[in-house]
Chain A
Amino acid sequence: MPQPNGPRRRFLQATGALALTGLAPVIARGQGEPLQLGVLTPLTGAGGFDGPRMAKAMQAVIDEVNAAGGLLGRKVLLVVQDTQTNPEAAVRAARQLIDVTKVPAIMGTWASAVTSAVAPLCWESRTFLTTVSGADSITKLPHQGYLVRTQPNNHLQAGKHAEFIASMGVKRCFMMSIQAPFAEPTQTRATEVLKEKGSQMVGTLIYDKDKTTYRSEVDQALKTNPDLIYLNGYAPDVTILLRELYRASYSGARFAQSYAVTTKVLESLPKGVTEGVITVQPSADVSSPAYELAKKRLGIAEPDSYETQATDWASLVTLSIAKAKLATGTGIRDNVRKICQGGGTKVYSAVEGLKLLAQGRDINYEGASGPCDFTDIGDIIDCKFRYNKVADGKFVLLKVA
């Protein structure tokens, strides 16, 4: 029978007090629960090749931010959900992020249909959405500012790409696209600009992305005798097209988006197949350190368009939250342009920006995928493009224009 003030009781009291003091720092830390941000990206399905890279890029930025002290005194935690490249599944996943995890921002939607499906949920719940999706209709949705797209819209992209192609001396260009909302607008704009610059679009075709062989499509393209073929698709189909073009002994130039011919893709294809391929991605000025910082952060020789855009999303969202001094979608919306546009010291990474913001200074974030200046409807105002060429299985910078 324990005595009220016996030795055992005193021992227990002492141990208890010691334990509590030992726990105290833990308890104090526990009060700063992590700041959760949503990542909604394709981990399975047709986009499964692209989602994981974007998530990794975002995680890299967040790791840096956490190492430098976190955001608003809290550690940042990315909560990842799979869109399954299906709008119905993505909507359910978004609801979970918005209503259960209660994130102020969702980053990473890829397929245009997925973004169009998730966007209404986001603006109705005042959650901020960042995306790469290319459909023109997306930024025209009534999103009240709760959406930004770091991918230049088709009009801007297609025009700049066509200018570059013409400047290379190409007289006959052929475009092969997958069936997607960006296919037609890109074809139309590129044809226009090529003509202006003295070149010509000798043909276009839209192919089925699920085919396992494209011999006949390639035949159709080669029949027009092009100097350059623009492969406007994604990695799974573009890798097949590159092989087919090699087999057909096509000696002209091949032009593709950087997300379709990534460093990993170069590793999986024989060097002969990729030799001379030109890739393009949106970029800041050639002098901007943001891209180099992204390279180092990710440990990749040449981060592609999606990886740089994802880097910029994570940076933009964290900087907006820091500027707003609270983690809400409305706060991000109201502050995002304050930290990435206008006057203010240029910064090239989230950590750099956070430091200056803490000192009360104004900043202008310039990203790895471009200057990150957005119109009112969330489109990129303007950006440069980085053109790389593949030589001996590695990327070499051609120019930034």
Chain B
Amino acid sequence: MENYLIAMAVSGGIYALMALGVNVMWGFAGMVNLGLVGFFAVGAYASALLTLKAGWSIAGGMAAAAVVAALVGAGVSLVTVRLRGDYLAIVTLGFAETIRIVASNAIPLTNGTDGLSGIPGPYRGALSPEGFNLLYLAIVAMIVTVTYLATERLRASPFGRVLRAIRDDEQVAAVAGKHVLMFKVKAFALGSAALGLAGALYGHYTSYIAPDIFVPLFTLYIKLALLLGGLGNNRGAIVGGFAVVFLLEATRFAIPYVPGISIVQGAAVREFLVAALLLVILRYRPAGIIPERLPRLPVPPEPDRYQPTA
């Protein structure tokens, strides 16, 4: 049982790390990324290939994963930075799916749908499975903590303030003399770095990655983690990451206790519960479980955003 809980904590930590990264892009800078699983994939493949095929160390691989993902993020945002919010969202979704399709078909490089097995993990051979799990939890906890501190620093820094200004009203920020484009690209790159690092962490933990892992549903989980925890809120991001894993796993235990239904119906009930619970939490906690601490000036709705009168 403990081994299971530790493993789920590692999963939660990886989700939390991703949520922290998306928080920089979305919570701080207001840029929607519906393709975040694509950056996760880029980091995972970068680290896996470097450690498996080029003999790099695991730490080196993880660092490279963050850098590569950051570069890709910078590239994507440079191309799309002038897009309106909802268009940016759709383009990023397309980007993630393109990464997945390329990974499925570029067999000489990525092994295609077969995936990459045997990705090394730190001291994997020397430790018992339980020992490895504990060590990895410590590593993930450390990385999440460092990332949390870094993003908190970012939030309080002038850079962070500018980002929030851009999120709240881009035109005002531009008028105030800030080079909006570069700030957005930097924010996107930083967030992508965290996503890439999370991907590397995932690969080295499970020792196997394949294109089928990097599906849009994963993006949904991270988005929900952020929304649950409260957009713009770093502690909320971490709580949200663990909350999503908890929801996914807790509903698993519920299924055997619903009598008289077939296993397919049981599986359908479980997925329904996950989706429904997420909707309920979203609905009743629109500010997230932990609301953003900074005082927010009321922002008038944009003129062409229609709001129902009731």
Contacts and interface: CB of A to CB of B under 8 A. Distances in A.
Per the CB under 8 Å rule, do A and B touch in the complex?
yes
Interface string A122-139: 001100000000010100
Interface stretch (A13-21, A22-30, A86-94): A86-94
Identify the interface centre among A44, A79, A117: most chain B CB within 10 Å of its CB.
Answer: A117
B212 A96 contact: no
A92 B11 contact: yes
Contacts of A124: 129
Contacts of B249: 92, 96
Instruction: List the 6 closest A-B pairs by CB distance, nearest first.
Output: A99-B4, A43-B267, A113-B210, A82-B267, A99-B3, A181-B114
Nearest to A79: B256
Contact of A48 (B7, B262, B264): B264
Nearest to A135: B114
A48 B271 CA distance: 13
Contacts of B256: 79
B300 to A, nearest CB: 41
15 contacts: A43-B268, A44-B271, A52-B262, A84-B267, A86-B217, A92-B249, A95-B3, A96-B252, A98-B4, A113-B113, A113-B115, A113-B211, A117-B206, A117-B208, A141-B118
Given A44-B271, A88-B218, A92-B11, A120 B114 contact: no
Contacts of B2: 99
A135 to B, nearest CB: 5
Nearest to B5: A99
Interface string B1-43: 1111001100100000000000000000000000000000000
Contact of B263 (A55, A113, A179): A55
B105 A113 contact: no
Identify the interface centre among B212, B213, B264: most chain A CB within 10 Å of its CB.
Answer: B212
Interface in B233-278: 248-249, 252, 256, 262-264, 266-268, 270-271
A305 to B, nearest CB: 20
Contacts of B113: 112-113, 179-181
Given A86-B213, A113-B113, A100 B263 contact: no
Interface in B162-215: 202, 206-208, 210-213, 215
Given A92-B8, A137-B117, A113 B268 contact: no
B213 A88 contact: yes
Given A95-B4, A113-B115, 11 more contacts: A43-B264, A44-B268, A55-B263, A81-B252, A86-B215, A87-B208, A93-B252, A99-B4, A117-B213, A141-B117, A179-B104
A84 B221 CA distance: 15
Contacts of B213: 86-88, 113, 117
A80 interface: yes
Nearest to A39: B263
Interface of A: 43-44, 48, 51-52, 55, 79-82, 84-89, 91-93, 95-96, 98-100, 111-114, 116-117, 120, 124-125, 135, 137, 141-142, 179-181
A137 B114 contact: yes
B212 A86 contact: yes
Identify the interface centre among B11, B256, B263, B268: most chain A CB within 10 Å of its CB.
Answer: B263
Interface string B108-122: 000011110110000
B244 to A, nearest CB: 12
B212 A116 contact: no
Given A52-B264, A95-B7, A111-B212, A181 B112 contact: yes
Contacts of A87: 115, 208, 210, 212-213
Contacts of B115: 87, 113, 116-117
A184 to B, nearest CB: 8
